[in-house]
Amino acid sequence: MKKLGFVLFIAISIALLVLCSYSCDGRYADYFERKIEDMGLINRSTPIKYVYSANPFYVHLKRHYCPRCNGVMKAKYNSTIVNSNSPEAEFYDFSLPDSRLIGDVEFRVGFFVCEDCDYEISFDEMKRLEADKQ
C-alpha cells in the first residue's frame, strides 16, 4: 500500500509539473521542479523562466491554424541561458513576484510553428491575427 501511495504521489507531482510548466511565467513550474529535484527524481541546476504573455489554455488546448497554409500550428520554445551578472542581462527580466533570480537562468520564449510549411509566429502575434479574423 505504501508503494502505491508513493507511485501515486510521484505521478501527481509530475502531472502538476507538466501543467504548471505551461503557466505564463513559469513560477509554479520552477517550484514543482525544485520539489521533484529535492526528491532525487531530476537534476536541474539552472532555473527556467518562461517569457510570453499567452494563457496556457490558449496555447495548448485551443487549435491554431497557420495563416499561410492553414496547417496545424504546434507550440515550441526557444531557449537562451543568461547569467544575471553578464552585460546582456540588462535585456532580460530576472524578477519573480517575490524575489529575483541570480546566476544562470534559462529563458524560454514560446512561439507557434506550422507542421506543414514551418512558418513561425509568436503567441502574441497569433492572438492578434485570430482576434482580427473575428
Domain around 84: 46-134
Query: Are 110 and 121 part of one and the same domain?
Result: yes
Query: Are 54 and 23 part of one and the same domain?
Result: no
Query: Are 100 and 52 part of one and the same domain?
Result: yes
Model confidence at 73, pLDDT cuts 50, 70, 90, reads very high
What would the pLDDT profile of 52-63 be if each residue is shown by its tens digit?
778 888 888 889
Distance of alpha carbon 7 from alpha carbon 14, whole angstroms = 11
Of the two residues 23 and 51, the one the predictor is more confident about is 51
Residue 80 CB contacts under 8 Å (≥ 6 apart), including other chains: 106, 107, 109
Query: Are 50 and 40 part of one and the same domain?
Result: no
The pTM for the full model equals 0.58
Query: Are 56 and 94 part of one and the same domain?
Result: yes
| Total of domains in the chain | 2
What would the pLDDT profile of 110-120 be if each residue is shown by its tens digit?
899 999 999 99
